[in-house]
Amino acid sequence: MSKQVVLGIESSCDETAAAVLIDGELKSNEISSQIDIHRRFGGVVPEVASRNHLLGVLPIVDGALKKAGVTKKDITAIGVTYGAGLIGALLVGVSAAKALSYALNVPLVKVNHIEGHICANYIDHPELKPPFIAIVASGGHTSIVDVSSYNDYNLIGSTTDDAIGEAFDKVARVLGLPYPGGPVIDSRAKNGNANIQFINHKGRKDYALSYSGLKTAVINYMHTLSQRGEECNIDDVCASFQTVAVDMLVDTAIRAAKDGGYKTLVLCGGVAANSYLRASIAAAGASNGIKTLYPKPILCTDNAAMIAMRAYLSLKEGKNIADLTLNAVSNLRVSR
Ligand code: KG4
Ligand code: ZN
């Protein structure tokens, strides 16, 4: 059988990315991040993101092909993120993928970004097999997903308001720390003590999460300090916020895995790069007899390797094949 050469394309937020997967093995993973462009605005500006994707998408595809040692003629399928994400940003990747699929006469596979994040784990952990519970913790999503097979994803819990990464970014902004807030809070927290009690998160019975109350508690705390003219210990605020944000997620994730009788729990999404979350989930998993996995940090934040992997798994079962009518869907949910 000839080789399956999948080109993955990702442009849902502020990373323009392309990757090549040959027979399920990652050969290249090129990412052009726009973080430096958006930092001065304190967050992603959608129109600016779209324009930069437009400039970057074809060069990044060429770069990924070159790195993988293949040419356009070798491509046997193209996988592209069609949702969820910023509509204008998504449309750039979708349009590029449609044009390439038409020109090269190869199948186009539509990829759900959240399912893509989960599939990053198959790249770093080839031994991983469904069923398992996946925790998608990113800037746009905080979802608990029951993965019953390679192509079945069932959302069993999610945040009712802000996503966990969004809370990291907003809290960082209030603390005067640069965008994106996650990595900087992660590192500042290492020098701080979790000695401020923002909220008591215990007590929920379902798998719903909420980060808006925690974010507001930090904002109120900062406001009170400034009204009193008192000094703020930023490292302690980072450690205290991060502890609650992560503990809440870990408690819910372990409970979901135990309730469903799952023996494996995987983390993914940008916040899965967080050092305290990685250590906490590993410790909680070990004490509950649950195996915990997460990808290397570069496969946690947005990338196209995970998109190519999701497309490869779809192709194996003839699922998610799209045609040139494919449109971007900004609020796409995890499907059953
Ligand atoms: O998955 P991702 O690249 O984009 C979305 O799909 O949203 O996630 C980006 C998010 C941002 O909110 C960023 O602050 C957060 O991931 N993040 C982190 C860390 N690295 C990135 N959050 C906490 N700790 C980190 N080390
Ligand atoms: Zn993402």
pLDDT band at 335 (very low <50, low <70, confident <90, very high): low
- pLDDT tens for 264-321 read 999 999 999 999 999 999 999 999 999 999 999 999 999 999 999 999 999 999 999 9
Q: How far is the CA of 268 from the centre of ligand 1 (A)?
A: 10
Q: What is the pLDDT of residue 280?
A: 98
146, exposed or middle or buried, with CB in 10 Å at 0-12, 13-18, 19+?
A: buried
What is the rounded distance in angstroms from the CA atom of residue 66 to the CA atom of residue 72? 10
pLDDT band at 245 (very low <50, low <70, confident <90, very high): very high
Q: What is the DSSP string of 84-120?
A: SS-HHHHHHHHHHHHHHHHHHT--EEEEEHHHHHHHH
What is the rounded distance in angstroms from the CA atom of residue 123 to the CA atom of residue 300? 11
Q: What is the pLDDT of residue 295?
A: 98
Q: Select from 15, 143, 301 the residue to mutate for testing ligand 1; criterion: most ligand atoms less than 8 Å from CB.
A: 301
Nearest CA-CA partner of 201 in 159, 170, 236: 159
Mean pLDDT of 223-241: 95
> In b/e form, how buried is each residue of 297-333, taking b as 16+ CB within 10 angstroms?
eebbbbbbbbbbbbbbbbbeeeebebeeebebbbebe
**Does the beta carbon of 182 sit less than 6 angstroms from any atom of ligand 1?**
yes
Q: How far is the CA of 301 from the centre of ligand 1 (A)?
A: 6
3-state secondary structure of 188: helix
Q: Give the residue whose CA is nearest to atom 22 of ligand 1.
A: 182
**Does the beta carbon of 140 sit less than 6 angstroms from any atom of ligand 1?**
yes
Residue 297, preceding peptide bond in cis (omega within 30° of 0): no
What is the rounded distance in angstroms from the CA atom of residue 288 to the CA atom of residue 74? 46
The percentage of the chain sitting over the pLDDT mark of 90, rounded to a whole number, equals: 89
- pLDDT tens for 41-63 read 888 889 888 999 999 999 999 99
**Does the beta carbon of 11 sit less than 6 angstroms from any atom of ligand 1?**
no
Q: What is the pLDDT of residue 1?
A: 65
Radius of gyration of the chain (CA): 20
**Does the beta carbon of 295 sit less than 6 angstroms from any atom of ligand 1?**
no
**Number of DSSP helices (H) and strands (E) in the chain, helices first:** 11, 11
- pLDDT tens for 192-230 read 999 999 988 776 778 999 999 999 999 999 999 999 999
Q: Which atom of ligand 1 is nearest to the CA of 113?
A: 6
Q: Give the residue whose CA is nearest to atom 8 of ligand 1.
A: 270
Q: What does the mean pLDDT of the chain come to?
A: 95
Alpha carbons within 13 A on the beta-carbon side of 278: 15
3-state secondary structure of 134: strand
Q: What is the DSSP letter of 323?
A: -
pLDDT at 235 over 90: yes
- pLDDT tens for 104-147 read 999 999 999 999 999 999 999 999 999 999 999 999 999 999 99
Residue 253, preceding peptide bond in cis (omega within 30° of 0): no
pLDDT at 239 over 80: yes
